[in-house]
Amino acid sequence: MGTPGGRVVSKVLDRERRGAMGAGEMPLEARALTGVNPDRELVASCRAGDPQAFARLVALHEGMVFNLSARLLGDTEEARDVAQEVFLQVYRVLDRFEGRSSLKTWIYRIAVNQCHNRRRFWHRRRRDREQAFDEGLSTGGAIASGPNPYEEAQRRERALRVQEALLQLSFEHRTVLVLREVEGLTCEEVGVALGVPEGTVKSRLSRAREAMRLRLRGLVEEGGAS
């Protein structure tokens, strides 16, 4: 994993991801694909004009696209809009998928590009302030509804602190960290998704982990002690 600080940051991110899943909230990770290797048959059926096949493709990947977009943009409403744009783009350019990477990695690349374009639009509209999205982490019920309200409140606070720290990183560092630590891609897959060499991924990842470690001092110390 690299430096000790980087390993602890990874542990904190993994703990928040698993905590969100256990509470039935929006998971930090992408929804896992089902089946052994559905890409080839699924793409072939989509290209043949089977609407049910494309609906299946969306169902398999919509969770990961929304979660990635929400983590990169910090705004759940924007993430929903971006997810729609991503699948419109997938539909339009599916004939260009050559199978040299997994379908998931190919869709990640489209999603990252859409998020990047959305941020550029924000800047042109002078919307530089990214929003914390605690409403996206909420199940809609009161905190006291959990089995242990105090622990639930603490977990929500940690999750928000992690997301706030992510939003303080540059878009490049945030993207590589989310793809590697949250979505679980290998450095090679992250490079394919971003269109950069694997060495560049590792360099950005190291800097991103260190930046997160500095922004999450309290959580890092807590994670290192557990």
67 class by beta-carbon count within 10 Å (0-12 exposed, 13-18 middle, 19+ buried): buried
Averaged pLDDT in 10-residue chunks for the chain of 226 residues: 52 50 37 54 90 92 94 91 94 90 93 91 57 42 54 78 88 94 93 95 96 79 53
Residue 34: per-residue pLDDT: 45
Residue 218: per-residue pLDDT: 62
Q: What are phi and psi of 210, to 5 degrees?
A: -65, -40
Question: Token pair of 222, please?
Answer: 């807590």
Domains of the chain by residue range: 4-225
Residue 79: per-residue pLDDT: 93
The CATH architecture one would assign to domain 4-225 is Orthogonal Bundle (1.10)
Which contiguous run of DSSP H or E holds residue 118?
helix 103-124
C-alpha closest to that of 23 among 183, 137, 111? 137
Q: State how far the Cα of 182 lies from the Cα of 210, in Å rounded to an integer.
A: 16
DSSP annotation of 145: G
